[in-house]
Amino acid sequence: MESTGGAPRHPGSRPPRCLAGLGPSVILRHVSWVRRAENYPYFDNDGLPIGFAHRGGALTGANVGLENSMVAFESAVDLGYRYLETDVHATSDGVLLAFHDRTLDRVTDRSGVVSRLRYDEVKRALIDGREPIPLLSEILERWPEVRINVDAKADNTVGPLVDVINRQRAWDRVCVASFSPSRLHRLRARLGPRVASSLATVGVGALRLLPGALPRRLALGRAGQAAQVPVRRGRLEIVTAEFVQRAHLLGKQVHVWTIDVPAEMGRLLDLGVDAVISDRTDLPELRGFVTSMVQADSFGIPIAAVLRVQAKDMRVKRSQRAEELAQKIPVKILFPLIFCILPTLFVVVIGPAALQIYHALFQG
């Protein structure tokens, strides 16, 4: 049954009426209203890592300069990607654009603040002077099998974003995200519990820093289903093995952005992260997963089986690279040891003793 003006209700969306007076172990058993990623069709990727095409793969080949364009998104889909990442801004008359910046200046041939312009003006702007700015609705309509992570960049996007998701019946195809806690709260309130969402910055901080499983569960149980984070913020390392474990214990996924270096991508996958968001959709570490899906589907082979083989092969290759690196390390250590450290030790430690022997023998 659909709720009035929004998404259908999600099973188990109501929390217990009262938890007061219960012990920690009892509370943990009764927090059945915790919203786990595994209960959302959006995250169903056969239990294997997700590769997100960030703005369609903004730094991949011909996409450079065409971020968040239909050309970039089509390129990612043609490579086999079924998860895209984009941002949204709304015009002054409420038209929702798949567009990252607050202004048109950086990536288009026109200028102006998007939220102060009518769509009749904005639609004349061309990305890199070549491609029109797409609407979110156009992406959803063009590729009905694709799932999209949507970052709401401004407060005036909330209403239009809710309207597009409901009108397209895209409740299971969209994960809403935002750096703003209040914006995310409004989106969740209007969309209902069926639509997946990410943690806001405050939620990520609680997951990273709050001590104890029970406080984290009570604070974050009803929050988003994915922590979408950078590897580090300043000097604070966010994505650690402990952080990933904490998220998984709460039934939440960890999505890391923006990773364009293969070695770092491999390290994060080894930590157990659930998704990598990248501008480089051509990297083998990502394409290995997505192209296997396409090939398996065309031959009627179970996708999960193929991807598990692919994941195992990647782990073996990374292990081999680690062994090769370990073999090179002694050579790097040996050179300074012979030419720098040993002579220094000789002078400092053996030198005084040699001088004493010399004086005793020849000057005594």
Q: So which residues are the catalytic ones?
A: 54, 100
Q: How far is CA 353 from CA 183, 315, 341, 359, 361, in A?
A: 74, 53, 18, 10, 13
Compute the distance between CA of residue 335 and CA of residue 4 in angstroms, rounded to an integer: 73
Tokens of 153: 């960049």
Please tell me the total number of residues recorded for the chain in this structure.
364
Residue 167: phi, psi to the nearest 5? -65, -35
List CB contacts of 71: < 8 A, sequence separation 6 or more: 56, 62, 63, 131
Compute the distance between CA of residue 192 and CA of residue 9 in angstroms, rounded to an integer: 7
Compute the distance between CA of residue 182 and CA of residue 296 in angstroms, rounded to an integer: 42
List CB contacts of 67: < 8 A, sequence separation 6 or more: 55, 56, 58, 100, 107, 127
Q: Which residue has the tokens 């960890």?
A: 254
